[in-house]
Structure 1
């Protein structure tokens, strides 16, 4: 149960972390700003994924958020602390960019270390009837009315999607590295017609 709870938190954190780093890279933010965005989104998605089953089970939004905040905050905070610490320690991980194998390999390592750091936290909370023990008995309840349209996302499905996405990012970045830098053997001629070419045209 502790493993399942930790994986559930990890999927939300992973979505937020990757999205935050993508946003930070796209906007050209510094490391601290990028980390702040990633942490904020990790908490947002972590809470959101835990709130959906409770809403589906019949709880109101306020009651669901109260339960989720009590159940997930310590686990997510542990993951975020460890995950970002690992990313900061690995040389070049934060500056690598999304089309760089270093980024994806570092993220995989960071999330793995974060899982093993948060697992004993969740185990400790569950043993005392806290953490995900607060939400577990709401899972599997038959939804009524419009609540049946609230997504029921299994942890295994979320984990598979995250792993596939990260492996896809790694494959794309490795392929980009193998292509190498673009060739500089040919240069375009300026619009005014001046300049030279690195290649010669065949005679007429």
Structure 2
């Protein structure tokens, strides 16, 4: 079992985080950010990592599918379709996190910063895997919306992206980064 460090031990009579001696003992002032704004680091389980990845996958899949559908329906070439899908994956991924953080009463600018910190690496890994599968799968880039191959490869790529990204999110949450940053806003 891990023993709490000096920051975890510093609290007032009500259990609220207090300051550390190196910062004058001021409550909530240890390292520049209020105690509530600092995510906790420590062991991360697979369940929180899977939930974080599923959250990320939802936004990525919405953007990815919409981008692929738009590009394919407009008969765009592969590169602009892929670029649109990636951009929309980031937009939808960030938007879901911003929406949740805004619901906690945080301003838009702060909510956007939380989303960027929480989701950027997760979305990037997911998009790398997802688009890599689509590009490398024979004939997938030539499939049309009416082809089972289009939907099958897209589904397989998203499943593989989930499997690869979950350990990344576990690692980040264990270090107080990634979705650990956004999690404190979800009550």
CA distance in 1, matches of 2:60, 2:139: 21
**In the alignment, which of 88, 104, 127 is matched to residue 57 of structure 1?**
104
Match of 2:129 in 1: 82
Match of 1:14 in 2: 61
Match of 1:29 in 2: 76
Deviation at 1:117, TM superposition (A): 1.1
Mapped contact 2:102–2:111 kept (Cα < 8 A): yes
Match of 1:162 in 2: none
> Aligned pairs, how many?
140
Matched residue of 2:112: which SS? Answer: helix
* Pairing 1:113–2:167 present: no
Q: Is there any run of 5+ residues in structure 2 with no aligned partner, and where?
A: 1-47
Mapped contact 2:73–2:145 kept (Cα < 8 A): no
Query: CA-to-partner distance for each residue in 1:133-192, whole Å, 9 max, x for gaps?
Result: 00111112xxxxxxxxxxxxxxxxxxxxxxxxxxxxxxxxxxxxxxxxxxxxxxxxxxxx
Q: Is there any run of 5+ residues in structure 1 with no aligned partner, and where?
A: 141-204
Query: CA-to-partner distance for each residue in 1:27-81, whole Å, 9 max, x for gaps?
Result: 1111111000000000000000111110000000000000110110000000000
CA distance in 2, matches of 1:47, 1:128: 21
Matched residue of 2:141: which SS? Answer: coil
Give the TM-score, by structure 1 length.
0.68
Matched residue of 2:178: which SS? Answer: coil
Question: Following superposition, which runs of at least 4 residues in structure 1 exceed 2 angstroms of deviation?
Answer: none
CA distance in 1, matches of 2:58, 2:144: 21
Matched residue of 1:94: which SS? Answer: helix
CA distance in 2, matches of 1:97, 1:68: 33
Give the TM-score, by structure 2 length.
0.74
Matched residue of 2:186: which SS? Answer: coil
